[in-house]
Chain A
Amino acid sequence: MTSRDRAWLLARRGSVVTAVALLGLVAVYVRALFFTPIERFQGPAQKIFYIHAPSAWVALLSFAVTGLLSVLYLWLKDRRLDLGAAASAEIGVAFSVVMLTTGPLWGKPIWGTWWTWDARLTSTLFIFLLFVGYLVLRGALSDPEVRARYSAVLGILAIPLVIFIHVTVYLFRTLHPDPVVLKPEAPSLPGEMLVTLLFSLAVFTLLYAGFLTQRYALAVLRELEDQEAADAVS
């Protein structure tokens, strides 16, 4: 089997996983909307939580995967690790956008404000911005080897930075408490809601796995094409 066939097979497997996950997503919507009780204080607005929290989880997961693969790339210098890191970062951007749009939609009726500079909100906003910077940097470099090294450097630097931003904002707020009491959703969830949330988390993680596999296979295929084109010229 050629490497092209292997990449195609991987892409096909990825699309199967994605298809299953998308069906699961439909089930999440149905369960969240019709078979999960309405929260007493927040009303129907709370339903967005079943999309928002799993998106945030996937955004954080892809961020961590990009960071980890960046460390491994600089260590092992295997091109596949770089392609994986980039694929994860792209998915991270998509889920960050979901997280950053569903959050304010819920925040306006519940907190009374679209946005607040809370530690979690700020650090996730910067995760999104760092992802964007990461992808812009990749786009601005044409040599694949240089691109891999440079983006790995940024991927590694981003991890401690986000931790520092989180601590900074936390410290900032404890020194200057906000007059509005803003608490994240209650940590203790009633059984049925918890089941919906856990189900949604599983579906979103599966969706991530499907996207990642497909995107990675696509990157491998594109690379093979580039190589063939280069070989044809020379």
Chain B
Amino acid sequence: MGEGARAVWAIAAKDLAIEWRTKTAFVSALAFAVLVLAVLYFARDPTAVASLDVAPGALWVTFSFAAMLGLNRAFLLEQENRALDGVLLSGVPRPAVFLGKMLANLVFVGAVELVSVPLFILFYDVPLWHRVPELLGVTAMATLSFVAVGTLLSAMAVRTRFAELMLPLLLLPFLVPPVVGAVQVTARILAQRPLSEVAGWLKLLAAFDIVFLFLAIFLFEATLEE
């Protein structure tokens, strides 16, 4: 393992260890995800709209809202006692700091998603068990870009006066392309159609991931103190 990769892992492991000891954020994000899934199930006219029709949208609204809760926490931890200064003083290259924070966020959001998917299948009664790998694949693709942008924006949002409101305001526009793409792909998966039908959407998701991952790594430097 290279020097950089070790640094990335050390930072991610630090954040995950903090989370593992309390589990407060994880438990609340998960409870929140279950609540959103349940509320959205009832947010329709059952005689007119089948639960299957709202299922892809419900899943992605749940994921993005739950992720936003987790993202806010990432840099809040570093605010206390100016912990981020300590991390930066350790001489770890800045892109590695970003990738470490992002990796921890990915694990956090990914864990919430992993637990929500079976609940979603149960709640919405979608015949999906054998297509879970594909669903997880598209989930990973859509999650990567919004966690990358979200990590970057949360580094800025924590320094503002109303951080909890600032992150959703800044991040939600960035959710449009990945969420639209993911909902389209999820709908095809639920309709038992092959993924080849949504090749265009998968390409869009991949392009979005690449562009915003690189931009986020590159711009992270500018969010830190000189």
Contact = CB atoms under 8 A, between A and B. Distances in A.
A160 interface: yes
B18 interface: no
A153 B166 contact: no
B173 A161 contact: yes
A157 B174 contact: yes
B144 to A, nearest CB: 14
A161 B174 contact: yes
Contacts of B17: none
B223 A150 contact: yes
B173 A133 contact: yes
Interface of A: 74, 126, 129-130, 133, 136-137, 140-141, 146, 149-150, 152-154, 156-158, 160-161, 164-165, 167-169, 171-172, 175
A168 B166 contact: no
B152 interface: yes
Contacts of A150: 156, 159, 222-223
B181 A168 contact: yes
A171 B201 contact: yes
Q: What are the nearest 10 A-B pairs in CB distance?
A: A140-B160, A164-B177, A168-B177, A140-B161, A150-B156, A153-B219, A149-B222, A168-B180, A133-B170, A133-B169
B31 interface: no
Contacts of B180: 168-169, 172
Contacts of A152: 222
Contacts of A74: 219, 222
B159 A141 contact: yes
B164 to A, nearest CB: 12
Interface string B144-163: 00000100110010011110
Given A150-B222, A156-B219, A164-B176, 17 more contacts: A74-B222, A137-B160, A137-B166, A137-B170, A141-B161, A157-B149, A157-B174, A157-B212, A161-B173, A161-B177, A164-B177, A164-B207, A165-B176, A167-B204, A168-B177, A168-B204, A172-B180
A171 B211 CA distance: 18
Nearest to A148: B222
**A contacts with B: majority SS:** helix
Contacts of B223: 149-150, 153
Contacts of A157: 149, 152, 174, 212, 215, 219
B200 interface: yes
Nearest to A174: B200
A157 B215 CA distance: 7
A34 B219 CA distance: 52
A153 B152 contact: yes
B208 interface: yes
A168 B202 CA distance: 11
B152 to A, nearest CB: 7
B219 A130 contact: no
A94 B176 CA distance: 24
Contacts of A153: 152, 156, 219, 222-223
Contacts of B169: 133, 136
B27 to A, nearest CB: 30
Interface string B27-67: 00000000000000000000000000000000000000000
A66 B86 CA distance: 34
A130 B173 contact: yes
B212 A160 contact: yes
A154 B212 CA distance: 12
A168 B178 CA distance: 9
Contacts of A172: 180, 184
Contacts of B219: 74, 153, 156-157
A156 B166 contact: no
A150 B160 CA distance: 10
A156 B215 contact: yes
Given A146-B159, A153-B156, A168 B176 contact: yes
15 contacts: A126-B173, A133-B169, A140-B166, A146-B159, A150-B156, A153-B223, A157-B219, A160-B211, A160-B215, A164-B208, A165-B177, A167-B177, A167-B204, A168-B176, A171-B200
A161 B166 CA distance: 18
Contacts of B181: 168
Contacts of B215: 156-157, 160
